[in-house]
């Protein structure tokens, strides 16, 4: 029988569950993993603890920072355990986009960008995930995203750009951007709140196990493994999983979704692997939607990096940016959600594709300094005419010029008969230069599956019961986004559910 690295098949869990529960009574830790998995060895519960905290948070991204900050507000001892040498995980290199129907700055109203509501955001999110997402969890996300955004502004000093974008899959202009233009703007705000409340950090400290005696018992702590040295940390109140997804775990990706082949680039940092999901399964946690893995359609084609220029094609379609293939032809509704755009790119059979925009769009989706920096790095290509831009991108000038002219006509008539893109009066015709292009191609970006949680962010086991003292939030959870996560929903998801987890863990 082949070695199952992830070891988290439901059949294996159920087959070994009774035996593991029986030996747990004799002093062994609970372990329901398949006997053929790498983590299947018997483990003895700690006889003593190296350190004790009230709440242990695993992971230092958006979700972990928010959870730790809220758990520490009442004076509890809280530690964030992070396996990487730097804090922030994927969050610190995130694109910096945050969806909220409103904000304390009233940007939508001041920019005259139409109507929106929490209910409309909920509807878009449900539809964007093909209705696989849990409506109650989505409602928590959309109802609380504004409060979470304002909390980071008020308590953490977060600063927002005075722009608002309509991005793929959304029916309103609701995507906010921090002044830094990357996720670091939010993580720094959250870190300030957490440190102000006394949260401690343990970096370079991978968690290697979750301690639980049996399916009737609570989670009592974690094991860490720092270069072979095992240490046990006790949690008096709770452990919060905020360890992120598994986009960098190629074996795990292939096991649950064979179409996500190893040849795909990945936007994530190297620590985005799935071991915490296996450890959670070992103590009975149910998982869901692990096959739902997202490609980001606008990554740098050769490396898969999500740099500052790679966010422009995400922000721009709401203001008139278009995507074209290597021949200069449109191939998709530019305001479609990420999975649709990624499939359309791949179906062109030509790598890469390009996004095309002009100078007038830049202040609506970014800054001139960012674009100038991107030009110096060769990420953006600039030209004085559409025909010159086509030549620089290796296209036939008459084809790209014809594509742009036709799209400009569609904007004026308010209808896109080719691809059905919803046209708004905020979209700018690509008529006045300079003109810009940027190459793009799909890369693995986000895993929508993870452990099952309830509205209190408590982790649910395979028997449908709450696992006492174990909470989860952020990308380590499943059931919120469904088959596809709408861009800009990751940060509010992590911060909203992180706050809920922290508050409940502290009770």
Do residue 285 and residue 374 come from a single domain?
no
Classify residue 311: in a domain, yes or no: yes
Binning pLDDT at 50, 70 and 90, where does residue 33 land? confident
**Per-residue model confidence (pLDDT) at position 15:** 41
Q: What is the mean pLDDT of residues 447-472?
A: 98
Q: Is the pLDDT of residue 7 over 50?
A: no
User: What pLDDT is attached to residue 28?
Assistant: 84
Q: Are residues 367 and 497 in the same domain?
A: no
Question: Which residues, 6 or more positions from 256, have their beta carbon under 8 angstroms from its beta carbon?
Answer: 290, 291, 293, 449
| pLDDT in the model for residue 19 | 40
Q: What does the block give as tokens for 403?
A: 């594509």
Please give the pLDDT value at position 27: 80
pLDDT class of 161 with cuts at 50, 70, 90: very high
Q: Are 411 and 452 in the same domain?
A: no
At residue 211 the predicted structure's pLDDT band, cuts being 50, 70 and 90, is: very high
> Same domain, yes or no, for 175 and 318?
no
Q: Which of 166, 197, 338, 379 is catalytic?
A: 338
Same domain, residue pair 330 and 475: no
Summarize the confidence of residues 147-162 as an average pLDDT.
98
Tell whether 88 is covered by a domain: yes
Q: What is the pLDDT of residue 416?
A: 98
Q: How many structural domains comprise the chain? A: 2
Judge if 288 and 302 occupy the same domain.
no
Same-domain check for residues 104 and 217: yes
Question: Do residues 430 and 475 both lie within one domain?
Answer: no
Which element (helix H / strand E) includes 226? strand 219-226
How would residue 440 be classed by pLDDT, with cut points 50, 70 and 90? very high
Domain span including residue 104: 51-292+448-507
Last residue of a domain, one of 429, 444, 459: 444
Residues 50-109 have pLDDT tens digits of: 999 999 999 999 999 999 999 999 999 999 999 999 999 999 999 999 999 999 999 999
CATH of the domain at 189: 3.50.50.60
Q: How confident is the model at residue 379 (pLDDT cuts 50, 70, 90)?
A: very high
> Comparing 13 with 120, which gets the higher pLDDT?
120
| 184/326 same-domain check | no
Per-residue pLDDT of 112-128, as tens digits, reads: 999 999 999 999 999 99
Percent of the chain with pLDDT over 90: 92
Residue 429: Cβ within 10 Å count: 16
Q: Is residue 23 part of a domain?
A: no
**R_g (Cα) of the chain, nearest Å:** 23
Give CA–CA dist 224/206, Å, rounded. 6
| Residue 224 sits in the same domain as residue 189 | yes
Active site residue 503: no
Four-point Cα dihedral 386, 390, 396, 397, nearest 10: 20
Q: What is the pLDDT of residue 39?
A: 72
**Which string of DSSP letters, residue by residue, matches 392-442?**
HTT--HHHHHHHHHHHHHHHHHT--TTT-PPP-TTPPPS-SS-EEEEEEEE
Measure the CA–CA gap between 390 and 396, rounded to whole angstroms.
Answer: 6
Answer with the residue of higher pLDDT: 40 or 194.
194
Q: What percent of the chain has pLDDT over 70?
A: 94
DSSP one-letter code for 379: S
Examine the pLDDT at 257 and tell me if it is beyond 50: yes
- Single pTM value for the model: 0.94
In the predicted model, what is the mean pLDDT of residues 293-304?
Answer: 98
Which has the higher per-residue pLDDT, 34 or 24? 34
Q: Quick one: pLDDT band at residue 332, thresholds 50, 70, 90?
A: very high
**Cα separation, 430 vs 409, whole angstroms:** 10
Choosing from 401, 428, 444, the residue where a domain stops is 444
Q: What is the CATH number of the domain that holds 331?
A: 3.90.700.10
Residue 417 has pLDDT above 70, yes or no: yes
- Would you say residue 18 has pLDDT above 70? no
The domain boundary, picked from 408, 424, 444, lies at 444
């Amino acid at each position: 029988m082949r070695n199952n690295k992830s070891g988290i098949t439901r059949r294996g869990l159920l087959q070994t569950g009774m035996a593991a529960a029986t030996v747990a009574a004799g002093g062994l830790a609970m372990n329901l993993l398949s006997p053929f998995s790498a983590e299947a060895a018997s483990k003895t519960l700690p006889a003593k603890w190296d350190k004790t905290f009230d709440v242990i948070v695993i992971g230092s991204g958006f979700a972990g920072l928010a959870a730790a900050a809220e758990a520490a507000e009442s004076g509890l001892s809280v530690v964030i355990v992070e396996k990487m040498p730097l804090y922030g995980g994927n969050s610190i290199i995130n694109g910096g986009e945050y969806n909220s129907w409103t904000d304390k700055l009233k940007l939508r109203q001041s920019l005259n960008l139409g109507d929106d509501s929490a209910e409309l955001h909920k509807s878009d999110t449900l539809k964007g995930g093909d209705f696989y997402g849990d409506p109650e969890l989505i409602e928590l996300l959309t109802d609380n995203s504004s409060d979470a955004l304002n909390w980071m502004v008020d308590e953490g000093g977060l600063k927002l750009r005075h722009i608002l974008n309509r991005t793929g899959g959304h029916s309103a202009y609701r995507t906010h951007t921090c002044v830094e233009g990357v996720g670091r703007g939010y993580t720094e705000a959250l870190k300030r709140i957490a440190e102000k409340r006394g949260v401690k950090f343990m970096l370079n400290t991978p968690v290697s196990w979750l301690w639980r005696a049996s399916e009737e018992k609570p989670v009592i702590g974690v094991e860490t493994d720092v270069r072979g040295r095992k240490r046990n940390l006790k949690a008096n109140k709770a452990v919060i999983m905020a360890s992120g997804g598994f986009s960098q775990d190629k074996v795990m990706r292939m096991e649950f979704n064979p179409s996500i082949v190893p040849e795909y680039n990945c936007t994530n940092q190297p620590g985005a692997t799935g071991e915490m999901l296996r450890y959670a399964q070992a103590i009975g946690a149910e998982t869901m939607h692990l096959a739902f893995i997202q490609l980001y359609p606008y990554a740098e084609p050769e490396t898969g990096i999500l740099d500052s220029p790679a966010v422009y094609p995400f922000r721009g379609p709401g203001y008139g940016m278009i995507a074209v293939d290597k021949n200069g032809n449109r191939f998709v509704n530019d305001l479609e959600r990420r999975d649709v755009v990624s499939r359309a790119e791949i179906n062109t059979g030509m790598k890469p594709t390009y996004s095309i925009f002009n100078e007038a769009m830049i202040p609506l989706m970014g800054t001139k300094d960012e674009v100038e920096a991107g030009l110096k790095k060769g990420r953006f290509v600039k030209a004085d005419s559409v025909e010159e831009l086509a030549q620089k991108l290796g296209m036939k000038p008459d084809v790209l010029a014809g594509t742009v002219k036709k799209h400009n006509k569609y904007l004026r008539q308010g209808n896109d008969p080719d691809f059905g893109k919803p046209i708004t009066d905020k979209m700018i015709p690509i008529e006045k230069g300079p003109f810009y292009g940027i190459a793009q191609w799909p890369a693995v970006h986000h895993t929508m599956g993870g452990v099952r949680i309830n509205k209190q962010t408590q982790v649910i086991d395979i028997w449908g019961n709450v696992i006492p003292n174990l909470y989860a939030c952020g990308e380590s959870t499943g059931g919120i986004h469904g088959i596809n996560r709408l861009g800009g929903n990751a940060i509010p998801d992590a911060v909203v559910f992180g706050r809920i987890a922290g508050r409940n863990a502290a009770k």
